[in-house]
Amino acid sequence: MSGNQDMSQQRRSQGPTLRFTKMHGLGNDFMVVDAISQPFRLRPEMIRELANRNFGIGFDQLLVVEPPGLPDVDFRYRIFNADGSEVEQCGNGARCFARFVRDQRLTNKKVIRVQTAKGVIELRAGREGMVTVNMGIPEFNPPAIPFAADRRKDVYTVDVDGQTVELSAVSMGNPHGVLLVDNVDTAPVETLGPLLERHPRFPARANIGFLQILDRSHARLRVFERGSGETLACGSGACAAVVVGCVRGLLDARVEVELRGGKLVIEWQGEGSPVMMEGPATSVFEGQLRLPGDSGGRRRKSGRPHKQRS
């Protein structure tokens, strides 16, 4: 067999090539895949391998762009956590999604409607890489979050690890628990975060936010994300935290939220209104990888720096 034949046989057994873009919103990082112009299907164990920061590409979430399944919608937006679980919402990802579909010329619209697992959200591309997302109306009804409680309350007491903590629960399309803390730098994110993420009162698990209020329009936040661990920023977590702060009478309608990776502006006019989130979306590089022909073996990856467009 010649060297060329040898190589092409090896390529076939290694499977197809997948193009992707690495992006982030305030350090919450993503692998973004266009599943409109290339075939795409990954099993959870392969997503876990790709998310691995040592042996894979490394990301908090995988975002997949698909054709819409509804009228009057531009795309379908699918989100997978680093642990391979598919979820309903990702705010920082939504801003990157808007930038990606415009950079890749999948649309030239400035206002983009996307179908998520929990309804339609609207993304508005602004200047200098900024994107505003209408994140929808928050849901406080316990079964809809889902959170185990016999009636809705602004604050619940939860027993965890031999102690009682107070938290608020809300869905931004995905489930969130929010705890008020005096200082995010010393908050027990690494210890309470994973315990509350998997607490039996959150039957679908939850993202756990630790909120420090500075004044009525400024807050700091750290989030231990369901299925990904603590991230540098969580967009839906920032929305959940502001909504909780408003409901508890501690925050005004427009709040600047400082996360470990940077700042988001969140606006909420109160019950029955949608939450608006504004922040940046950044492309880091484009790459391609060869998927294994059969299952989850190691893969080669290559990347080239991405030219930023604002």
**Residue 54 labeled ligand binder:** no
Query: Considering the complex, what minimum distance in angstroms separates the CB of residue 234 from ligand LBFN2T5F?
Result: 4
Q: Look-up: residue for tokens 């920082």?
A: 92
Query: Considering the complex, what minimum distance in angstroms separates the CB of residue 179 from ligand LBFN2T5F?
Result: 17
Q: Closest CB to ligand LBFN2T5F among 28 and 291? A: 28
Q: Look-up: residue for tokens 């590409």?
A: 57
**Residue 61 labeled ligand binder:** yes
- 229 φ/ψ sector (left φ>0, alpha ψ -120 to 50, else beta): left
Six-digit token string for 242: 């502001």
Query: Considering the complex, what minimum distance in angstroms separates the CB of residue 275 from ligand LBFN2T5F?
Result: 11
Question: In 104-222, where does DSSP find H-type helix?
Answer: 189-197
Catalytic residue among 90, 96, 239, 246: 90
DSSP state, 126? -
Pairing relationship of beta strands 175-180 and 28-34 according to DSSP bridges: unpaired
Angle, CA of 56, 61 and 64, to the nearest 5°: 100
Task: Give 306's contacts (C-beta < 8 A, 6+ positions apart).
Answer: 21, 22, 283, 284, 285, 286
Query: Considering the complex, what minimum distance in angstroms separates the CB of residue 80 from ligand LBFN2T5F?
Result: 9
Query: Considering the complex, what minimum distance in angstroms separates the CB of residue 240 from ligand LBFN2T5F?
Result: 9
To the query of whether residue 246 is one of the catalytic residues in this protein, the response is no
The radius of gyration computed from the CA coordinates of the chain, to the nearest angstrom, equals 20
Q: Are 84 and 56 in contact (CB under 8 A)?
A: no
Q: Closest CB to ligand LBFN2T5F among 56 and 209? A: 209
**Residue 226 labeled ligand binder:** yes
Q: Closest CB to ligand LBFN2T5F among 213 and 257? A: 257
To the query of whether residue 239 is one of the catalytic residues in this protein, the response is no
Catalytic residue among 96, 234, 239, 246: 234
Site of interaction with ligand LBFN2T5F (CB under 6 A): 28, 60-61, 81, 87, 90-93, 174, 207, 225-228, 231, 234-237
DSSP state, 292? P
Query: Considering the complex, what minimum distance in angstroms separates the CB of residue 235 from ligand LBFN2T5F?
Result: 3
Q: Closest CB to ligand LBFN2T5F among 21 and 228? A: 228
**Residue 141 labeled ligand binder:** no
| Torsion angles phi and psi, residue 274, rounded to 5 | -75, 160
What distance in Å separates the CA atoms of residue 176 and residue 91, rounded to the nearest whole number? 13
**Residue 207 labeled ligand binder:** yes
Q: Closest CB to ligand LBFN2T5F among 38 and 141? A: 141
Helix (H) or strand (E) run with residue 4 in it = helix 3-14
Q: Closest CB to ligand LBFN2T5F among 181 and 223? A: 223
Adjacent-strand bridge partners of 304: 286
What distance in Å separates the CA atoms of residue 24 and residue 6, rounded to the nearest whole number? 39
**Residue 15 labeled ligand binder:** no
**Residue 139 labeled ligand binder:** no
Residues of the binding site for substrate: 28, 61, 81, 91-92, 174, 207, 225-226, 235-236
Active site residues per annotation: 90, 234
Residues of the binding site: 28, 61, 81, 91-92, 174, 207, 225-226, 235-236
